[in-house]
Amino acid sequence: MPPAGIPPSRALPLKESGLFKEVLHYYEDRQLKKGLKTADTILKKFPNHGETLCMKGLILTHMGRREEGLELVKQGIRYDLTSHICWHVFGLIQKGQKNYEEALKSYTQALKFDKDNINILRDAAHLQTQLRHYDALVETRHTLLRLRPQLRQNWIALAVAYTLIGNLTEAKHVLEQFERIVKNVPDYDVEMSEVLLYHVRILEDLGEDTEALALLDSSAKSRMIVDRVAIMEHRARILSKLGKPEAQEAWQGLLEQNPDCYDYYKGFLSNRGVDLDAITDENRAQALEIMNDFSEQFRRAAAPRRIALTVATGDKFKELFEPYLRSRLAKGIPSVFTDLKALYRDPSKRETIESVAHALLDSLTHAPDAPCPSSIDPTMYIWTLYFLAQHHSHLGRHDRALALLDTALTHTPTLPELYMFRGRVLKRAGDPYGAARWMDQARLLDLQDRFLNARCGKYRLRAGLIDEAGEVFGLFTKKDAPSPAQDLEDMQSLLYLTEEADAQLRIGNYAMALKKYVAIQKVFDDFEDDQFDFHGYSVRKFTINIYLNMLKWEDTLRSHPAYVHAAIGASRILVQLHDNPSLATKAASESHLSEAEKKAKKKAKKAEKKVQEESKKAGGNSTNEDKGLEATPPKDDDPDGMKLLQSSEPLERAAKLLKPLSSLAKDNIQAWIAIYDVAVRRNVLRTEKYLQALQALNQAHRLDADSPELHIRVVDFKRRWSSLSDSEKPSETVAKVVASSLPTLCPDEVSLEQFNAQYLQRYSARGDAVLAAAKASRLLGAPREEVEAAVFNALNADVVLDLETAVAIHAFLSEIQSSREDEFRAACKEKFPLSTLFAARSELLALRKSAVQKEAAEANEEKEEVVS
């Protein structure tokens, strides 16, 4: 409340009251300079007028003086706690800062003092949708409809609110009432068309298929629905549900319109009682007959022939596959293998594919250095070699793949795909430097191809050539950007951010790796914020169906592989920081900025200085410029990521990153392992800590009970739990939960040493299990010599050791400072002859140089040619 002796805040004299209305008018017209001057005039006589202080703060915020404006708004609220204007202004500023929870609280306060304010109600509805407060949203939409029933969008908004809360019956009633009162709708009205399609969708979801079909047919006949494809799709689907004979004709019509749509074929087959995702021996022949008919009917469509390959088995598959492969190889389609890769899940089909492809190659083979005979199609020959190279590489036969690619390159040395795939084979074989070199050669064949340049940059990052990757990316990014990396981050390139984060992590630069992982998180935060404007736009423009699809997509946004990967990667770094805080201080003492990053930092400083000078020159001309309520992106004052790395509470930050994964990545075992690693270390209530850790173990056990990573965590959890004293243990309830669940993971009657030995005995032929048992032994305090001996069992002839596990074992030996590290490296060099991952440090420099063969002068000349 205002201090004693001062008139109530809103009790302004007539003259000042008029001036305050002018302030509101100037703000709405964005005449900020005039609005500020008028507000100052009022405040000279009434310095404690809360609403004027808030409006002045709002104007200052729009002019870019955000801190000063926010302070004035807070001061104005203190002087007038019962003004809806003050609370509305505060809500606007908080919304601009993307602090949606607090903004909604401010709007709620504003509505207490002006419950029928249309603007506040509408803004509150948008916030409630953004925060998924659907119960409150229904009430707000009801109020808006009561106040303005003549606005069509208020009716639709209420129906949408009921849909979001799951009350489809009420949504249907609102739409029916709305359609009764709407008069004189012209033909082909897009807005009404969307409403009617939305109504059909609601009826279909309610299971009222007869009513949905009647509404669809009547609306289509009267030209009320514009989208003809949507009509056909809804009609075919509803007729199938109703079991009507017209359904087959409806699906046929859709297929004639788009014969390459897989969903239409699934619908057609489903209507005939054939589930394409669960083919049985009883209906296989029927499905193949249908696909054969469509292949004859749509001769230029690939979909029916490809679906037939999925359905067919045995000799029938071979009969269908050979012409399919021949036709695609003859056309020179590079993506044939990608198209067929799903068939490799069936071993018999995989063998058939190999035999047919090799028979085809035998019929085309000729001396590679001799002219191609007239009887042989050179296009089919080269693409057959390419297909078989992909086939063998996919199956881990990298030597055979490289031999086929060498033959192809001798025949056609100008095809970029051959160079690219040779790089990919080397990458899979563990030679990132050779992979980068061959990808660079592919790029040189067409310097203006952005795809080739992007792939080259990606492979350089995988080889740890971060500066060299920046040079390639810089060929196509903005020339006035501080650096290619910054431009790609601004463009929200998830591929680049993920690859650079992983590259920085591989070279031990935890600060920059964490910075890039957090940048990925910020991209998803932006995706989430971007939906806000559509809450009003979609209802206003009646784009209802696509809006509902967008909300559903946003609800599962953080299930995206890029976010899951970044959250797990960042959490591992943060867990390491918690376990070993000296990592942050050690990183601070080392300069991790590359030459490109140092140049970018210097360039950014110059650009910032230039902007400041230009703003000073502009002077008074920019005072009326509206900079909006949304804060500009903060200046990057942490170019090397050190501040981020040294921030406090690493486990709390990791827990925040991983929180969405517990519901959106339930089938990702690595996510549950990461959640366990954080939960078991967090300094929270012991009840919460152990229950969350145990839940993560149970979920991981559900996905893969034999997982090596899970085995290590089970040993770790039981060791921690057993070491707790009675005073340290949580409540009796939690102890009972642990006592009932833990035996499923690790039997009570077996000691941890026995449990580990039994696991190793069961999976002694798996290299990853051998490593897991060794790590568990180390947790249990086994001597280093014993751990080393256990790890070296992975080199036994009867153990399946893949490249990834070998690299992990080498890293583990380095971590425990094993004296036998070089011995293991030498053994791996012999076991994986194509790999350079086990090269000695003295060899790495030469390998790095060989990855980029061009001289600097030549590179600059080519870069200038591309730019020109």
pLDDT tens profile 403-434? 999 999 998 999 999 999 999 999 999 999 99
**Burial class of residue 846 (count of CB atoms within 10 Å of its CB; 0-12, 13-18, 19+):** exposed
- Judge whether 684 and 749 are in contact, CB under 8 Å: no
User: What token pair was written down for 757?
Assistant: 């030995």
CA distance 416 to 414: 6
Confidence of residue 595 (pLDDT cuts 50, 70, 90): low
Cα–chain center distance at 606: 34
Q: Which of 693, 697, 694, 695 is nearest to 711 (CA)?
A: 697
- In this predicted structure, which of 2-6, 572-576, 642-646 has the lowest mean pLDDT? 2-6
* 412 CB neighbour count, 10 Å cutoff: 17
Contacts of the segment 692-695: beta carbons below 8 A, 24+ positions apart: 693/717, 694/737, 694/738, 694/741, 694/742
- For the segment 522-576, what is each residue's pLDDT rounded down to a tens digit? 999 999 999 999 999 999 999 999 999 999 999 999 999 999 999 999 999 999 9
CA distance 757 to 760: 5
C-alpha torsion angle, residues 202, 204, 206, 211 (rounded to 10): 100
Mean of pLDDT values over 632-653: 84
User: Could you tell me which residues come within 8 angstroms of residue 13 by beta carbon, excluding any fewer than 6 positions away?
Assistant: none
- Kindly tell me if the per-residue pLDDT of 606 is higher than 70: no
**Burial class of residue 23 (count of CB atoms within 10 Å of its CB; 0-12, 13-18, 19+):** buried
Looking at the chain, the number of H-run helices and the number of E-run strands are 48, 0
What pLDDT is stored for residue 620 in this prediction? 45
What pLDDT is stored for residue 364 in this prediction? 87
- Judge whether 512 and 483 are in contact, CB under 8 Å: no
- Kindly tell me if the per-residue pLDDT of 786 is higher than 90: yes
What pLDDT is stored for residue 612 in this prediction? 52
What pLDDT is stored for residue 860 in this prediction? 45
Give me the chain's average pLDDT, please.
Answer: 89
Q: Which of 516, 791, 784, 567 is nearest to 677 (CA)?
A: 567
What pLDDT is stored for residue 629 in this prediction? 76
Q: Please report the DSSP string for 634-652 in residue order.
A: PP---TTSHHHHT-S-HHH
What pLDDT is stored for residue 513 in this prediction? 95
- For the segment 78-88, what is each residue's pLDDT rounded down to a tens digit? 988 999 999 99
* H-type alpha helices, 298-377: 303-311, 314-331, 336-340, 347-364
Confidence of residue 853 (pLDDT cuts 50, 70, 90): low
Mean of pLDDT values over 716-733: 84
Q: Which of 776, 777, 673, 691 is nearest to 742 (CA)?
A: 691
- Judge whether 503 and 462 are in contact, CB under 8 Å: yes
What pLDDT is stored for residue 624 in this prediction? 63
Confidence of residue 849 (pLDDT cuts 50, 70, 90): confident
433 phi/psi in degrees, rounded to 5: -75, -45
What pLDDT is stored for residue 589 in this prediction? 60
Percent over 90 (pLDDT), the chain: 74
CA distance 47 to 32: 20
CA distance 555 to 406: 48
- For the segment 25-39, what is each residue's pLDDT rounded down to a tens digit? 999 998 999 999 999
What pLDDT is stored for residue 868 in this prediction? 42
User: Could you tell me which residues come within 8 angstroms of residue 102 by beta carbon, excluding any fewer than 6 positions away?
Assistant: 94
The residue that leads in pLDDT, 343 or 277, is 343
CA distances from 368 to 265, 371, 384, 407, 418 (A): 43, 8, 14, 7, 15
CA distance 567 to 658: 6
